[in-house]
Amino acid sequence: MQINLSNLGKRYNYEWIFRNLTYTFESGTSYAVLGHNGSGKSTLLTIVAGHNLYSEGEILYTEDNKTIAPDEAYRYLSLTAPYLELVEEFTLLEMIDFHTRFKPLRNNLPNSDLIERMGLQRSRNKYVKDFSSGMKQRLKLGLAIYSDTPLLLLDEPTTNLDQEGVAWYQEHVDQNKTGRLVIVGSNIEHEYAFCEHHLRISDYHTTPRK
């Protein structure tokens, strides 16, 4: 998958979050979108995901040299972020069953195997609402990383994870990045250390328009 950003800009009221962003994301490569808190990393990822509208410019999605309509891009991506919610009334098994109706798992991985890879075997019948914050984050990451999508978007992926959880994240991203376009929004090195390219969102900040 390839994503071309052309003179992309986003503003809220009169404040530009970023502007004049021209960049190309290529399949089979990992990118880090870097910047301090509030710099626009999450905004850019939600725009790429189609969850947020941009104010100016253009985004072009292509897959196998075919253009993808912006309102169809969600079919090609998986996203995890601290602000995304899980269905807490589901058990773990029900949550995975629900998710895989829309996004099948890579390499036809059985749902039970995903639970094992997430290290949540003892919680398969536990309600998500009773999970710790770290368990919820591991579940979000597992669903995103193992979804059969050419685009993987990871926003602050190790939020609420302990050292063991961080190591788990690094291991499983590394195992599942080949042949995909991976974009990580972060300001913590252990989250994006595997990324070959860095995009500093602060390079596209502007002064507010009068």
Give the tokens for residue 97: 């069953």
DSSP secondary structure letter of residue 40: S
User: Where do the structural domains in the chain lie, given as residue ranges?
Assistant: 2-204
pLDDT at 38 over 90: no
Please say if the pLDDT value at position 203 is more than 60: yes
State the SS3 of 114-173: HHHHCCCHHHCCCEHHHCCHHHHHHHHHHHHHCECCCEEEEECCCCCCCHHHHHHHHHHH
* Mean pLDDT, residues 6-21: 95
* CATH number for the domain formed by residue range(s) 2-204: 3.40.50.300
Q: Which residue has the higher pLDDT, 87 or 38?
A: 87
Average of pLDDT values for 89-114? 97
The predicted model gives 87-94 an average pLDDT of: 97
- What is the average pLDDT score of the chain? 95
pLDDT value, residue 107: 95
Q: What per-residue confidence (pLDDT) applies to 207?
A: 52
pLDDT average, residue stretch 43-70: 95
Mean pLDDT of 111-140: 97
pLDDT-above-90 percentage for the chain: 92
% of the chain beyond a pLDDT of 70: 98
Q: What would the pLDDT profile of 169-197 be if each residue is shown by its tens digit?
A: 999 999 999 999 999 999 999 999 999 99
pLDDT of 210 over the 90 cut: no
- Res. 135 pLDDT band, cuts 50 70 90: very high
- How large is the average pLDDT for residues 100-113? 96
